C-alpha cells in the first residue's frame, strides 16, 4: 500500500469521527431544563460516550440508565452504564431493557427524559412481547442479518416484534416529556429507524412490515410469523397523544462526517466528490460500482478530474452464502479490490465508523490494485473468500485490516477512494 495514501485515508476517517464527537454534537442541541427531574436513557454503540458528554454539559445531577455493546462502556457519574451483546441479543440486553423501563417509571408532566440513541440499539434492547422468548428474538435477528434485507426493512419488522421498539419506551415515560437526541447510522437519517426507534414511533404499519417480508422473501422463524399474525403485534401510532409533547433531533449523521472527511481531502490538494451519504444494496455489488467509477476516473479522467477522492456513506448489506468472517465493509472492499486488480494510483478505505465491521475487531480494511496479489501471497484465494463471505480472512492475509478500536460514535459506513494522477 502507498503509505501516503494510507495516512490520508486514516486522517479522513479520523476527521469523520471527530465531526460526530458527542460533546460537540450534543452541546448545540440541549433542551431547556425542566421543573422536575431529568432522567437519561439510551442505547447504542456510542451511547455511553453520549451519556458522559451529556452529564458534563448538563451540570445538574441526573439519573437513568443506558446500554452499549460489550467493551464500549465509558465512565458516567450518575447514569448507570450497562453492556450487552451485538449483533445478536443476549440476557444482559434483556436486563438492560428492563432497567430502561424502570428508569422512566412513575414520572410526571414536569419531568424530562433525555433519550440518547445511536446505531446498534436494536440488538442491545431485546424485548420479546408476550408469547415470544429471548431465543425467538435471537432467531429473528439472525434471520434478518442473513437475509440481506436493507436496514429499514429489518427495523420495520423488529418494531412489531418488541415491547420496547417503535416508540414503546416513550409511551412508558408518559406524561414526562421525552427529548430524543439521535446519532443517525441509517440511510436518509430517519430517527425512527435508528435502534428501531425505542422513543420515536413511525408510520410503518404492520401491513407494511408483512409486505416487506413477502416482497423480500425473508425466511422468518415460525414463532415470529405466528406473532406477526396477531393484531397485538402492531407498533404504536405516531399520532398517539402520548407523543405530542416529545421532540426528536438528529445531532450527528453520515452527511456531516462525510463533509469533514472531504475537507481533509481538499486540504491535501484533491478534488473531492461525495457520491451519496445514503447508499444501500448488496455490499459486493456496490463494491463493483465504486470500482467501475474509480477506473473511469483513472483511465479517462472523467467524470471527475485527477487527482480525485470519491467519498460515500450509507449502509450496505450482505446476504450470507456461508457463515464466514467479516462484515459489509470488508465484503465491499474485497469485491472492489478484485475489480481494480493490476491498476495503479487507486487506494481505498471502507470502514464502519463505530470501529467494528461485523463480528471481528476491525473497522474495515484498505485496498489497492495489488491487494489480491498480497492475498494470494498470504495463501488466500480472493474469489473463494468472497464466495464464502470470508473477507476478513482475505484482508488479514494481505495485512491490510484497519483496526482503530471502538470510536464512541456510529454514523454508518465511510468509503474513501483516492485516484492519483500517475
Ranges in the chain, pLDDT < 50: none
* CATH number of the domain encompassing residue 394: 3.40.1480.10
Same domain, 120 and 30: yes
Q: Are residues 219 and 330 in the same domain?
A: no
My answer on whether 128 and 242 are in the same domain is yes
Domain that includes residue 369, residue range? 3-15+255-419
pLDDT of residue 323: 79
In the prediction, which pLDDT does 43 show? Answer: 98
Q: Are residues 209 and 291 in the same domain?
A: no
Residues 147 and 245 in one domain: yes
- Is 172 in the same domain as 229? yes
Q: Is the dihedral of CA 368, 370, 372, 374 positive or negative?
A: negative
What is the DSSP-derived secondary structure letter of residue 363?
S
Name the residue with cell 446500554: 67
Q: Are 307 and 291 in contact (CB under 8 A)?
A: no
pTM: 0.85
Q: What is the pLDDT of residue 188?
A: 85
Give DSSP secondary structure letters for 252-287: E-HHHHHHHHHHHHHHTT-EEEEEEEEE-SBHHHHH
Rg, C-alpha atoms of the chain = 22
Report whether the peptide linkage leading into residue 213 is cis, meaning its omega lies within 30 degrees of zero: no
Query: In this structure, are 368 and 405 located in the same domain?
Result: yes
Q: For position 333, what pLDDT does the model report?
A: 98
244 and 197 belong to one structural domain = yes
At 329 the pLDDT is: 97
Q: Which one of 207, 234, 252 terminates a domain?
A: 252
66 and 199 in a common domain: yes
Residues 293 and 385 in one domain: yes
Characterize 117-139 residue by residue with b for buried, 16 or more Cβ atoms within 10 angstroms of its Cβ, and e for exposed. Answer: bbbbbbbbbbbbbeebeeebbbb
Which of 252, 279, 294 is where one domain is finished? 252
Tell whether 25 and 8 lie within a shared domain: no
Residue 268: what pLDDT? 98
CA geometry: angle 331, 183, 59, nearest 5 deg: 145
pLDDT at 135: 96
Cβ-Cβ contacts under 8 Å for 306 (sequence gap 6 or more): 271, 297, 298, 345, 419, 420, 421
Q: How many domains does the chain have?
A: 2
Joined together, the cell numbers standing for residue 205 give 404499519
- pLDDT value at residue 243: 98
Amino acid at each position: 500500500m502507498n503509505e501516503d495514501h494510507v495516512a490520508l485515508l486514516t486522517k479522513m476517517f479520523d476527521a469523520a469521527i471527530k465531526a460526530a464527537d458527542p460533546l460537540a454534537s450534543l452541546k448545540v442541541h440541549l433542551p431547556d431544563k425542566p421543573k422536575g427531574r431529568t432522567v437519561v436513557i439510551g442505547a447504542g454503540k456510542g451511547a455511553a460516550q453520549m451519556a458522559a458528554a451529556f452529564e458534563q454539559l448538563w451540570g445538574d445531577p441526573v439519573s437513568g440508565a443506558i446500554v452499549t455493546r460489550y467493551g464500549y462502556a465509558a465512565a458516567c457519574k450518575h447514569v448507570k452504564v450497562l453492556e450487552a451483546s451485538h449483533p445478536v441479543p443476549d440476557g444482559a440486553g434483556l436486563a438492560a431493557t428492563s432497567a430502561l423501563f424502570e428508569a422512566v417509571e412513575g414520572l410526571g408532566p414536569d419531568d424530562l427524559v433525555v433519550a440518547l440513541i445511536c446505531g446498534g440499539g436494536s440488538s442491545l434492547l431485546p424485548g420479546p412481547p408476550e408469547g415470544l422468548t429471548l431465543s425467538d428474538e435471537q432467531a429473528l435477528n439472525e434471520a434478518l442479518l442473513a437475509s440481506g434485507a436493507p436496514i429499514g426493512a429489518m427495523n420495520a419488522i423488529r418494531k412489531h416484534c418488541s415491547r420496547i421498539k417503535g416508540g414503546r419506551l416513550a409511551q412508558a415515560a408518559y406524561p414526562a416529556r421525552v427529548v430524543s437526541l439521535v446519532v443517525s447510522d441509517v440511510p436518509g437519517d430517519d430517527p425512527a429507524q435508528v435502534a428501531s426507534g425505542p422513543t420515536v414511533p413511525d408510520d410503518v404499519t404492520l401491513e407494511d412490515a408483512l409486505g416487506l417480508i413477502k416482497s423480500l422473501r425473508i425466511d422468518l422463524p415460525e414463532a415470529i410469523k405466528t406473532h406477526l399474525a396477531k393484531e397485538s403485534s402492531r407498533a404504536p401510532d405516531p399520532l398517539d397523544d402520548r407523543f405530542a409533547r416529545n421532540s426528536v433531533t438528529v445531532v450527528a449523521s453520515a452527511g456531516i462526517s462525510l463533509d469533514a472527511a472531504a475537507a481533509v481531502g481538499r486540504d491535501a490538494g484533491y478534488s473531492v466528490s461525495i457520491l451519496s451519504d445514503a447508499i444501500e444494496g448488496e455490499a459486493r455489488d456496490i463494491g463493483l460500482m465504486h470500482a467501475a467509477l474509480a477506473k473511469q476516473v483513472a483511465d479517462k479522467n472523467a467524470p471527475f478530474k485527477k487527482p480525485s477522492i470519491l467519498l460515500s456513506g450509507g449502509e450496505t448489506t450482505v446476504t450470507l452464502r456461508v457463515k464466514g468472517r467479516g462484515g459489509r465493509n470488508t465484503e465491499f472492499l474485497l469485491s472492489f479490490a478484485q475489480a481494480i486488480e493490476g491498476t495503479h494510483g487507486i487506494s481505498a478505505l471502507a470502514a464502519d465508523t463505530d470501529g467494528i465491521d461485523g463480528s471481528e475487531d476491525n473497522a474495515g480494511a484498505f485496498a489497492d490494485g495489488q491487494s489480491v496479489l498480497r492475498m494470494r501471497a498470504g495463501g488466500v484465494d480472493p474469489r473463494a473468500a468472497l464466495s464464502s463471505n470470508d473477507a476478513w480472512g482475505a484482508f488479514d492475509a494481505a495485512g491490510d485490516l484497519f483496526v482503530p478500536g471502538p470510536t464512541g460514535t456510529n454514523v454508518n459506513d465511510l468509503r474513501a477512494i483516492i485516484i492519483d494522477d500517475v
